[in-house]
Structure 1
């Protein structure tokens, strides 16, 4: 939910920290029905695909109860479990605002929901992506600590001018991360669990590369925002992900400044290859007009 390029302050009606009231009583029956449709579709698909912490968090927060969840209700349980809360924002927020919220265990979420004709794709994250996709993982103490550490790291990355590298870490973990388990790869990234199509593609399709997680490798890898991913990174555990994030990134940034990006579909000799993809989907995708 962060974005650069903001030149003005918060929009009318937003507080200084860019938060707004969710306005839960203002949702229409049709909007609640969109949530229910999306929820039921994903809830039926994700067992055996999403990781256990996500599924447990989904159950703990009872996100299906009566359509779009009321932040005030789910925050009671979320705060009890990990000290986090969800705050409503009017859309994308400046990077420094986003990182400040994460560093203080607040997750900024859009409060609008997509239209019925946009069930499978929309450009800006909505409440289903933000709350269904992200918030269940915040009930897990280790992942909750990782998100806070990422927020603090983001504040430092802004000062050091290294946000482009750190953004890749967020993309390939928080949004599109896979977890290696004894039962095989499982999803924890919000961009996957909130999407029916990518929930299938990320685990089943032969096209993408699936590689073992390596922090600097991830930070050197560009990503695509317009379609399915060409590479996914699997972390061996959420604790390993947190441990990698708690180190001092300054020496890493110095090394990255001297290193080139790794092409998105390339496999390096040092990579731990879980699945060597065919890249057929990306190669057969029509060129953008």
Structure 2
């Protein structure tokens, strides 16, 4: 099951008003005071942001731009090899900069003309209902910080490289954008937290870690795979199962490692027919039936 809190470093405000980001014990930046201070500055800008106002501009340093540039350069040939053509079409249309970190306002401007989506800032964790509910309004909450420069191709948490290279390129595709919006609209309909987690888990195994057959070759379309340098090499060697909503909604998984089980759509049409129709129609009763069916067969 999806546990959102494990994905993001907690953010707190001290009594003196300074913001601290609490990095995990395995975080490459844990013992780097300058990096930790910078993370606090960026989180503070997001905490001070008010909805309806422009997203704060972050003056990225040359070192931060270099991390983005390394990730963009190294991910690009892997995208050409491993990404589904629909993702590649979105990426070509969005035309993100490759030599510097884009501002979220830039991402919004480019996306809005393609699919009507906007990006807003988040210091870290956004509540499950708030994050998914906003997707129903075509609004994506994104972090603005970058991974530690010692490991430009690895991050233990979602950073702007994941949120933008992974998700914004995906959201530049009208078909992927509609699926994402449908997940958000589903969340708005649901009353129980258990039902919301069902939607989040199906989203995890589709829009985050989805794979799809294309001309008899397994390709990735999930943002989590396509923003991960290592996972793109690994995903085709995992256990690949056909789309199965009950399994996608209920199987346990570890978010801290490569996903060992992935669900493959036969085509984009099938993804829309199965996952899209689920997001379009799911209500609390249907979500609980999936959970009940799993409990009955487990």
TM-score tier (shorter): 0.7 to 0.9
Distance 1:228 1:160, change over 3 A: closer
Distance 1:96 1:15, change over 3 A: farther
Please tell me whether residue 218 in structure 1 is matched to residue 256 in structure 2.
no
Inter-partner Cα distance in structure 2 for 1:245 and 1:186? 22
Cα deviation code 1:162-187 (max 9, x no counterpart):
23322211211121110121241110
Q: Which runs of 5+ in 2 are unaligned?
A: 14-42
Inter-partner Cα distance in structure 1 for 2:54 and 2:296? 40
Once the two structures are overlaid, the 10-residue window that deviates more, 247-256 or 43-52, is 247-256
Aligned-pair Cα RMSD in Å: 3.0
Alpha-carbon shift at residue 147 of structure 1 (Å): 0.7
TM-score by length of 2: 0.77
Matched ranges for 1:167-246 at <5 A: 167-203=200-236, 205=237, 208-236=238-266, 237=268, 238-240=271-273, 241-246=275-280
Q: How many residues align structurally?
A: 258
Is the contact made by 1:222 and 1:261 (CA closer than 8 Å) also made in structure 2? no
**Structure with a larger share of its residues in helix:** 2
Please tell me whether residue 117 in structure 1 is matched to residue 147 in structure 2.
no
Aligned-partner SS, 1:232: strand
Give the structure 2 partner of residue 21 of structure 1.
55
Is the contact made by 2:191 and 2:284 (CA closer than 8 Å) also made in structure 1? no
Give the structure 2 partner of residue 280 of structure 1.
none
Cα deviation code 1:86-113 (max 9, x no counterpart):
1121111112221232110011110011
Give the structure 1 partner of residue 65 of structure 2.
32
Is the contact made by 1:54 and 1:188 (CA closer than 8 Å) also made in structure 2? yes
Cα deviation code 1:72-95 (max 9, x no counterpart):
223223111111111121111112
Please tell me whether residue 255 in structure 1 is matched to residue 289 in structure 2.
yes
TM-score by length of 1: 0.79
Alpha-carbon shift at residue 62 of structure 1 (Å): 1.5
Inter-partner Cα distance in structure 2 for 1:119 and 1:104? 32
